[in-house]
Amino acid sequence: MKHVDEFRDKALCQGLVARVASLVPQVQRKLGRAATAPIKIMEVCGGHTHAIFKYGLEGMLPETLELVHGPGCPVCVLPVGRVDDAISVAEQPGVIFATFGDALRVPGSERSLLQCKARGADIRVVYSPTDALALALAEPARQVVFFGLGFETTAPATALVVLDAHARGVPNFSVLSNHVTIMPTLQALLAAPELALDGFIGPGHVSMVIGTEPYEPVARDHHKPLVVAGFEPADVLQATVMVLEQLAAGKARVANQYQRVVRAAGNPRAQAVLAEVFEPRETFEWRGLGWIPRSGLRLRPAYAAYDAERRFAVANLSLPDHQACQCGEVLKGAIKPWQCKVFGTACTPDTPIGACMVSSEGSCAAYYNYGRLSTVRRLKERREVTP
Amino acid sequence: MCLGVPGRIVAIEDEQRKLGVIECAGVRRIVSLHMVAEPDQALADLVGTWALIHVGFAMSTIDEDEAHRTLALLAELGEMAEMAEMAEMGAEARGEPGGGAT
Ligand code: SF4
């Protein structure tokens, strides 16, 4: 496939891996680190985590470079309370609950949407919010609720569908918004003292909407390089090289590896529909990360008629995670998935305890599905010797 | 979730609602072009353009020149690394201490 296969070229990737290997010791020297102390780069977006595992990049890179998997998977950060809220709406008589497939197996306090469907709730998997609106038009006697999930990549699509519903006067369509924004979350991560990161690989598809300018504080105030990257293996590797080159030169800038898709100013039309329909909530809960100010989006009062939270008097529950769940530490990059006590035993993609095991972009699921055991074992040993 | 796939816009389906047909790995699908349509541009001008498709919406056009530039740069980086490796192997063969990658 064009614009994909070229960026999966093996020789290209091998060249980049060699470049990474030669840069890491330079960076270690520049930062005054011991030769065994790893350079830590966080890939913020779950799409990158997925690519890193799918193409086995972690196994190709030197052990002195650690990729820390960040919280940029909207499904993984969905808190228990919001899942229960969704279930309470889905179980109301007459409701058709439309959701992306990723969200089905996220555990709530008692059950997931999938289990709720098995008990008789009318839950439909849709590929696009447009499909949810089409359902509402086809079933005028039912209430169709779309489970709005995702970062700025996805929120404009939901916003445009709300505008469409409004223009056509569709009375039986609403959105349960769990849309979130990336910068407040990054800021919260950067403010956490226990987090020791040297640089960031920035989310490619969020950035095609918001542009690269919003990341400036990462470089300016926190002095960390951030390189926005595409999702093919050569993209991720090149972005890694670009972060390392900055570190080796003692620089911290926002740069863009994904020039073919991401413009510095982002997509103004997408930003406009987003701002028209949504406004930031005062605060929003993230699984594992807690409450982050202004990180969630809700519908503006002008579109209250399409807000499922108002239509169904949603409780906005805040509930604790499962006792054994260590997703919070995984999402912060404080522990690796396999260091969670229930990883691969009680918690597997078929029986997830935490949300990181649900989505294909969650780091636990990525390790479980793609992490070659030998790699995990090697990493594990290394970790245990050098804490 | 944030997954996007590149597709080529092959036809306009509904000018007024800004719907287009994209072809992606041989499959055709109707998507919204709203976010990539310039306000003062005819939608038909987009036919032939590549776009990044996310949940049924074209979210950004793909700049082919930039794609080529990135690839060229990548190839160059790869060659550089290869040359550095060869130089090192040569140095080793001559019994000199290796440079760079330790
Ligand atoms: S293994 Fe399961 S419970 Fe543990 S961090 Fe991963 S998803 Fe959460």
Give the residue, A38 or B95, on which the prediction is more confident.
A38
The answer for residues whose C-beta is within 8 angstroms of residue A268's C-beta and 6 or more apart is none
Nearest CA of chain A to the CA of B34: how many Å? 8
Q: Domain A1-77+183-261+323-380 falls in which CATH fold?
A: Rossmann fold (3.40.50)
DSSP assignment letter at A38: P
Q: Is the pLDDT of residue A61 over 60?
A: yes
Give the pLDDT band of residue B63 (cuts 50, 70, 90): confident
The answer for residues whose C-beta is within 8 angstroms of residue A120's C-beta and 6 or more apart is none
Helix or strand run (H / E) with residue A240: helix A233-248
Give the residue, B69 or B37, on which the prediction is more confident.
B37
A290-317 residues labelled b (16+ CB within 10 A) or e (exposed)? eebeebbbbbeeebebbbbbebbebeeb
3-state secondary structure of A114: helix
Is residue A330 within 6 Å of ligand 1 at its C-beta? yes
| φ, ψ (nearest 5 deg) of residue B57 | -130, 135
Substitution target in A44, A210, A257, A261 with the highest count of B β-carbons within 10 Å is: A261
Query: What residues does CATH 3.40.50.11740 cover in chain A?
Result: 80-180+296-311
Give A81-94 pLDDT, tens digit per residue. Answer: 999 999 999 999 99
Nearest CA of chain A to the CA of B45: how many Å? 18
The candidate with the shortest Cα–Cα distance to A363, out of A62, A148, A42, A26, is A42
Is residue A342 within 6 Å of ligand 1 at its C-beta? yes
B52:A261 CB<8 A: yes
What stretches of A31-177 show up as alpha helix (H) in DSSP?
A: 46-54, 57-60, 80-90, 113-118, 129-138, 155-168
Q: Domain A80-180+296-311 falls in which CATH fold?
A: Rossmann fold (3.40.50)
What stretches of A46-145 show up as alpha helix (H) in DSSP?
A: 46-54, 57-60, 80-90, 113-118, 129-138
Q: What pLDDT, on the 0 to 100 scale, is given for residue A382?
A: 54
The candidate with the shortest Cα–Cα distance to A175, out of A268, A303, A75, is A303
Residue to substitute in A342, A350, A358, A367 for testing ligand 1 pocket (most ligand atoms within 8 angstroms of CB): A342
CB proximity B89 to A under 8 Å? no
Comparing CB atoms, the residue among A3, A74, A267 nearest residue B50 is A3
Q: What pLDDT, on the 0 to 100 scale, is given for residue A385?
A: 47
Is residue A288 within 6 Å of ligand 1 at its C-beta? no
How much distance in Å is there from the Cα of A41 to the middle of ligand 1? Answer: 21
How much distance in Å is there from the Cα of A363 to the middle of ligand 1? Answer: 9
Work out the average pLDDT over A275-289: 92
Contact (Cβ atoms closer than 8 angstroms) between residue A78 and residue A287? yes
> For chain A, what is the radius of gyration of the CA atoms?
21
Q: What pLDDT, on the 0 to 100 scale, is given for residue B97?
A: 43
Contact (Cβ atoms closer than 8 angstroms) between residue B59 and residue B9? no
Substitution target in B22, B31, B32, B55 with the highest count of A β-carbons within 10 Å is: B55
A15:B84 CB<8 A: no
pTM of this prediction?
0.87
3-state secondary structure of A223: coil
Q: What pLDDT, on the 0 to 100 scale, is given for residue A201?
A: 96
The residue nearest atom 6 of ligand 1, judged by CA position, is A364
The answer for residues whose C-beta is within 8 angstroms of residue A329's C-beta and 6 or more apart is A288, A335, A340
Locate the ligand 1 atom nearest the alpha carbon of residue A330 and give its number: 5
How much distance in Å is there from the Cα of A57 to the middle of ligand 1? Answer: 22
Is residue A365 within 6 Å of ligand 1 at its C-beta? no
DSSP state letters, chain B: ----EEEEEEEEEETTTTEEEEEETTEEEEEE-TTT--TTS-GGGGTT-EEEEETTEEEEE--HHHHHHHHHHHHHHHHHHHHHHHHHHHHHHTTPPPPS--
Rounded to whole angstroms, the Cα distance separating B20 from B29 reads 8
Tokens, residue B68:
């080529």
B contacts of A21 (beta carbons < 8 Å): 101
3-state secondary structure of A280: strand
Query: What residues does CATH 3.40.50.11750 cover in chain A?
Result: 1-77+183-261+323-380
Contact (Cβ atoms closer than 8 angstroms) between residue B43 and residue B22? no
Nearest CA of chain A to the CA of B64: how many Å? 7
Extents of the domains making up chain B: 5-93
Contact (Cβ atoms closer than 8 angstroms) between residue A255 and residue A227? yes
Give A116-130 pLDDT, tens digit per residue. Answer: 999 999 999 999 999
Contact (Cβ atoms closer than 8 angstroms) between residue A255 and residue A219? no
Of A148-157, A169-178, A337-346, A364-373, minimum mean pLDDT range: A364-373
Give A159-197 pLDDT, tens digit per residue. Answer: 999 999 999 999 999 999 999 999 998 998 888 777 788
Is residue A328 within 6 Å of ligand 1 at its C-beta? no
Give the pLDDT band of residue A71 (cuts 50, 70, 90): confident
Q: Is the pLDDT of residue B39 over 60?
A: yes
Q: What pLDDT, on the 0 to 100 scale, is given for residue A378?
A: 57
Nearest CA of chain A to the CA of B91: how many Å? 16
On the CB side of B99, CA atoms within 13 Å amount to 10
Rounded to whole angstroms, the Cα distance separating A339 from A331 reads 13
The candidate with the shortest Cα–Cα distance to A329, out of A184, A195, A218, A200, is A195
Q: Domain B5-93 falls in which CATH fold?
A: SH3 type barrels. (2.30.30)
A19:B69 CB<8 A: no
- For B78, which residue in chain A has the nearest alpha carbon? A15
Percentage of chain A lying above the pLDDT 90 cut: 59
What are the angstrom distances between the C-alpha of B91 and each of A16, A230, A237, A246, B96? 22, 36, 27, 28, 5
Q: What pLDDT, on the 0 to 100 scale, is given for residue A383?
A: 52
How much distance in Å is there from the Cα of A62 to the middle of ligand 1? Answer: 26
Work out the average pLDDT over A347-372: 83
Q: What pLDDT, on the 0 to 100 scale, is given for residue B98?
A: 38
Q: What pLDDT, on the 0 to 100 scale, is given for residue A41?
A: 94
Substitution target in A1, A3, A13, A131 with the highest count of B β-carbons within 10 Å is: A3
Q: What pLDDT, on the 0 to 100 scale, is given for residue B93?
A: 53
Nearest CA of chain B to the CA of A126: how many Å? 9
Give A199-211 pLDDT, tens digit per residue. Answer: 999 999 999 999 9
B contacts of A15 (beta carbons < 8 Å): 74-75, 77-82
Q: What pLDDT, on the 0 to 100 scale, is given for residue A165?
A: 97
Comparing CB atoms, the residue among A6, A129, A259 nearest residue B63 is A259
Q: What pLDDT, on the 0 to 100 scale, is given for residue B84?
A: 59
Contact (Cβ atoms closer than 8 angstroms) between residue A175 and residue A146? yes
The candidate with the shortest Cα–Cα distance to B47, out of B66, B68, B86, B21, is B21
Q: Estimate to the nearest angstrom the gap between the alpha carbon of A76 and the chain centroid.
A: 7
Residue to substitute in A340, A341, A350, A351 for testing ligand 1 pocket (most ligand atoms within 8 angstroms of CB): A340
| φ, ψ (nearest 5 deg) of residue A78 | -70, 115
